[in-house]
Amino acid sequence: MVGQRQSTNRMQPTQNVGTRRNQEGLNLVAKRLDGKAIASQVRSEIAEKAIKFLAREGMKPHLAAVLVGDDPASQIYVKNKRLACEKTGLESSLHLLPATTSQSNLLETVERLNADPSVNGILVQFPLPKSCSEREVVLAIDPLKDVDAFHPYTVGLIVDGTPRFLPCTPAGIQQILIREKIETAGKEVVIVGRSHLVGRPLSIMLSQKGPHADATVTVCHSRTPNLEQHCRRADILIAAIGRPEAITGSMIKPGAVVIDVGINRLADGRVVGDVEFESAVQVASAITPVPGGVGPMTIAMLLENTLKAAALQHGEKFN
């Protein structure tokens, strides 16, 4: 799978964020799974590979971003992705289209980037204006340049167990587990959320046979009865429902690992996850913070996919 090589670089130690007591009454330390530090490590590895790719091929891996309209959040996301490219030694380009862009004009832009041999990865920032179909745009992207891993062909390879690219957020979560040496084989994993972006692909990745997988996975959603009962079974609990602080400490099995995918801005300006951090940290053995947990890893894995796309398009193997 993409990006599963264990690194020899030293990471900053995880930060203690609270204590809890086990059945024997001993204090145990809950760990902060620092996605920011892990993402920095991943980007350093990518930067080294990008230098070698440039020396071999005479070009930098190139990510082309397409932004339709002037949505402030989308502008920030694209800016952060482009900055990450520059810091890692990848080339990036931005293709701005007005909010009034027609579906046909957007598809023409995608086709032009498909045909451009200097472009290795294509990212169309969602959401799109209502006049444009996200589904049609996804289908239009060349699967060899599908670095978001949304195309049905890409998804099919994941289901088959022979992935070309892994979706960025699920891949980032898997890398956190790998690099923090959190075992998944034989573990109960509960994913709260069934979106095609996170819940569904991650359930496939973690339940497959092989290293860093082999888990027993349950996917819960808005129609799941007795959600708390399912959550309290989990050795690894992954929250990806887009509801602020929906998962509380009472829903977590003592000693479980908690991965919080959510990013929610409250009316008072605070940014929180889908997990109520203060109560969860008293129960979990390890937890990702928000911000600074899964988010930085999502961008890091986008860069990894772009580098892999460049290698594959030049007939190289990617390790």
Active-site residue set: 81, 125, 148
Report residue 93 as tokens: 């380009």
What single-letter amino acid sits at 83? L
CA separation for the pair 219, 234 (Å, rounded) = 11
CA separation for the pair 247, 35 (Å, rounded) = 20
Is the Cβ–Cβ distance between 119 and 145 less than 8 Å? Answer: yes
CA separation for the pair 247, 256 (Å, rounded) = 13
CA separation for the pair 189, 222 (Å, rounded) = 18
Cα angle for residues 67, 71, 75 (degrees, 5° grid): 55
> Residue written as tokens 């809950």?
30
Bridge partners for 232 per DSSP: none
Assign 174 to helix, strand or coil: helix
- Dihedral Cα 280, 286, 287, 288, nearest 10 deg: 170
Q: What is the three-state SS of 10-68? A: CCCCCEEEEEEECCCCCEEEEEECCHHHHHHHHHHHHHHHHHHHHHHHCCCCEEEEEEE
